[in-house]
C-alpha cells in the first residue's frame, strides 16, 4: 500500500543526536534547542521562539499567556484540529466557531465581526494547508476590539501572507513538527512570541513555572517557583533531530512543491470520471506544499474515490470532522449552522504527499 505520509529523514538525524548525547546535555534548552530557535528567529524574523513538545503544547502556552479564564470567548474555525480548541476550552473558554469559506477550507474572516462580544478575548486563525487566512481583516478587528490573535500555524511553516511569514503577525504563533508536517521530529512544536510583553512569562511557563531560563543565563542567582506552567520544552535530542531537517529545509520545500504542482497539473486527467474541484490559493497567500486536497461533490463520491484508490493500493485520506459537531460538543453548540465546514468534513480528500513518493504510481 502506498501510504498517505512517510516522514522524510535527511540522513543527518543520527549524527546530530549523537552530538547532543556527546555534549552531555540532553535535557531541554540545550545547544540544539538554542540553534533551532535562533534559526527560526533569523530566517523568518520571529521575535522569540520556544521549542515545545507539540503544537498542542504551544497552543496551551498561548492560552495561559493571554490569561484565558472561565467564560472568556475565543473565535476560531470549526474545521480544524481538536487542539486548536482544546487548549482554550481547558482554561474555561467558550468557543465561537466560524464557518469555512465556500471556495477553500480556511475560516471565513467575514463572519468574525458578528461573533465579537465584550467577552471576546482571542481570535485563533488557522492557516489550513499552509494557505494564509486574510490576516489584514483579522488584525484590523483585533486592534479595534482589543482582542489577542494567536495564529494556529501548525501546517504553515514558510507560508506567507502578503510577504509576511505566517506565525509572525499574531501576538503569538504556534507551529507543529509532528511527523506529518513539512519538517518534523516525530512529535514537536514551537511557540512564536511576537508580542514582547509575553516573552518573559513564556519562558517561565515553558520551564514548569520557574525562572530557570533566567538562572541559566546568570540573570538571577537561584531559581524559584514563580508562576503556573508545565514541562513544555522538549529534550535536546528532539531539537537535534529537527536541526537535521532544518539543514535540508529548502530541498524539502522544493520537493513538496514539485509534487503539489504535479498533482495540480494532472488530477483533471487522472481522475476524469469524478466530480471534484481543485485547491484554491488566494493571491495574498503563498503555497508551502503542505497538503494537496480535492473537494468532491458529495460524501458518496468521496467514499467511492477513496475506495477506488485503496483498490489500486493507494491510501488517500479525508481530514477533519467539524469540531462543533464532535461528540465532545454534543448539545453545547448554540451558534449558526456551519454548512461549509460540514461540506469539507464530508467531501475533502488529501492525496499522498511525501518526499520519496514515486509519482509513477499514478500511471
Ligand X SMILES: Cc1ncc(COP(=O)(O)O)c(C=O)c1O
Smallest distance from ligand X to CB 161, Å:
16
Q: Does 189 bind ligand X (CB under 6 A)?
A: yes
Please state, in angstroms and as integers, the Cα–Cα distance from residue 337 to each residue in 98, 173, 250, following that order: 10, 28, 41
Instruction: Give the interface segment with ligand X, choosing from 48-56, 63-71, 143-151, 344-352 (CB under 6 A).
Output: 48-56
- Interface with ligand X (CB under 6 A), residue from 29, 33, 78, 155: 155
268 CB burial (10 A radius; 0-12, 13-18, 19+): exposed
Q: What angle do CA 188, 217, 154 make, to 5 degrees?
A: 20
Q: Which of 21, 12, 9 is nearest to 237 (CA)?
A: 21
Q: Does 54 bind ligand X (CB under 6 A)?
A: yes
Q: Does 100 bind ligand X (CB under 6 A)?
A: no
Smallest distance from ligand X to CB 54, Å:
3
Which C-beta is closer to ligand X: that of 130 or that of 229? 130
Other C-beta atoms closer than 10 Å to the C-beta of 187 total 17
Gap between the terminal Cα atoms of the chain: 16
Q: Does 55 bind ligand X (CB under 6 A)?
A: yes
Dihedral through CA 243, CA 248, CA 254, CA 256, nearest 10?
Answer: -50
Which C-beta is closer to ligand X: that of 56 or that of 168? 56
- Interface with ligand X (CB under 6 A), residue from 37, 83, 194, 235: 83
Query: How far is Cα 98 from Cα 116, in angstroms, rounded to an integer?
Result: 11
Q: Mapping DSSP to helix (H, G, I), strand (E, B) and coil, where does residue 74 land?
A: strand
67: which 3 cell numbers?
A: 490569561
Instruction: Give the interface segment with ligand X, choosing from 53-61, 161-169, 258-266, 324-332 (CB under 6 A).
Output: 53-61
173: which 3 cell numbers?
A: 504563533
Q: What is the DSSP letter of 192?
A: E
Q: What are phi and psi of 179, to 5 degrees?
A: -60, -15
Which C-beta is closer to ligand X: that of 186 or that of 282? 186
Residues of span 248-267 touching ligand X by CB under 6 A: none
Smallest distance from ligand X to CB 152, Å:
5
Which C-beta is closer to ligand X: that of 210 or that of 323? 323
Q: Mapping DSSP to helix (H, G, I), strand (E, B) and coil, where does residue 150 land?
A: strand
Which C-beta is closer to ligand X: that of 126 or that of 240? 126
Instruction: Give the interface segment with ligand X, choosing from 40-48, 129-137, 147-155, 239-247 (CB under 6 A).
Output: 147-155
The count of chain residues that interact with ligand X, using the rule CB under 6 A, is 14
Query: How far is Cα 59 from Cα 63, in angstroms, rounded to an integer?
Result: 6
Instruction: Give the interface segment with ligand X, choosing from 81-89, 139-147, 157-165, 192-200 (CB under 6 A).
Output: 81-89
Residues of span 284-313 touching ligand X by CB under 6 A: none
- Interface with ligand X (CB under 6 A), residue from 98, 135, 150, 154: 154
Q: Does 152 bind ligand X (CB under 6 A)?
A: yes
Q: Which of 37, 90, 28 is nearest to 64 (CA)?
A: 90
Smallest distance from ligand X to CB 185, Å:
10
- Interface with ligand X (CB under 6 A), residue from 78, 84, 91, 211: 84
How many residues are recorded in the chain?
A: 363
Instruction: Give the interface segment with ligand X, choosing from 75-83, 88-96, 247-255, 270-278 (CB under 6 A).
Output: 75-83
Q: Does 176 bind ligand X (CB under 6 A)?
A: yes
- HSE-CB at 203 with a 13 A cutoff on CA atoms is 15
Which C-beta is closer to ligand X: that of 84 or that of 210? 84
- Interface with ligand X (CB under 6 A), residue from 80, 168, 182, 286: 80
Query: How far is Cα 103 from Cα 84, in angstroms, rounded to an integer?
Result: 22
Q: Is the dihedral of CA 197, 199, 200, 204 positive or negative?
A: positive
Q: Which residues bind ligand X (CB under 6 A)?
A: 54-56, 80-81, 83-84, 126, 152, 154-155, 176, 178, 189
Amino acid at each position: 500500500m502506498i501510504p498517505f505520509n512517510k516522514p522524510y529523514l535527511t540522513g543527518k538525524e543520527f549524527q546530530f543526536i549523537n552530538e547532543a548525547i556527546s555534549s552531555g546535555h540532553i535535557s531541554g534548552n540545550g545547544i540544539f534547542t538554542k540553534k533551532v530557535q535562533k534559526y527560526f528567529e533569523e530566517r523568518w524574523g520571529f521575535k522569540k521562539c520556544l521549542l515545545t513538545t507539540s503544537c498542542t503544547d504551544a497552543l496551551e502556552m498561548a492560552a495561559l499567556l493571554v490569561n484565558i479564564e472561565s467564560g472568556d470567548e475565543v473565535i476560531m474555525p470549526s474545521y480544524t484540529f481538536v487542539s486548536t480548541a482544546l487548549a482554550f476550552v481547558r482554561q474555561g473558554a467558550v468557543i465561537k466557531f466560524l464557518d469555512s469559506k465556500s471556495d477553500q477550507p480556511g475560516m471565513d474572516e467575514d463572519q468574525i465581526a458578528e461573533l465579537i462580544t465584550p467577552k471576546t478575548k482571542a481570535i485563533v486563525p488557522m492557516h489550513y494547508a499552509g494557505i494564509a487566512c486574510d490576516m489584514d481583516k483579522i488584525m484590523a478587528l483585533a486592534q479595534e476590539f482589543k482582542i489577542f490573535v494567536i495564529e494556529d500555524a501548525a501546517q504553515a511553516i514558510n507560508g506567507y501572507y502578503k510577504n509576511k511569514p505566517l506565525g509572525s503577525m499574531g501576538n503569538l504563533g504556534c507551529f507543529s513538527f509532528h511527523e506529518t508536517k513539512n519538517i518534523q521530529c516525530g512529535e514537536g512544536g514551537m511557540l512564536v512570541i511576537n508580542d514582547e510583553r509575553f516573552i518573559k512569562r513564556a519562558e517561565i511557563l515553558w520551564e514548569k513555572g520557574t525562572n530557570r531560563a533566567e538562572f541559566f543565563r546568570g540573570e538571577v542567582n537561584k531559581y524559584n517557583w514563580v508562576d503556573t506552567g508545565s514541562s513544555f520544552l522538549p529534550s535536546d535530542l528532539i531539537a537535534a533531530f529537527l536541526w537535521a531537517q532544518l539543514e535540508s529545509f529548502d530541498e524539502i520545500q522544493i520537493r513538496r512543491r514539485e509534487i503539489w504542482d504535479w498533482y495540480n497539473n494532472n488530477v483533471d486527467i487522472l481522475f476524469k470520471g469524478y466530480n471534484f474541484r481543485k485547491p484554491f490559493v488566494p493571491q495574498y497567500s503563498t503555497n508551502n506544499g503542505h497538503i494537496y486536497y480535492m473537494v468532491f461533490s458529495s460524501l458518496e463520491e468521496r467514499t467511492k474515490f477513496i475506495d477506488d484508490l485503496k483498490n489500486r493500493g493507494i491510501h488517500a485520506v479525508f481530514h477533519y470532522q467539524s469540531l462543533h459537531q464532535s461528540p465532545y460538543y454534543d448539545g453545547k453548540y448554540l451558534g449558526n449552522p456551519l454548512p461549509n465546514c460540514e461540506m469539507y468534513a464530508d467531501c475533502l480528500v488529501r492525496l499522498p504527499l511525501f518526499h520519496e513518493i514515486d509519482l509513477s504510481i499514478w500511471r
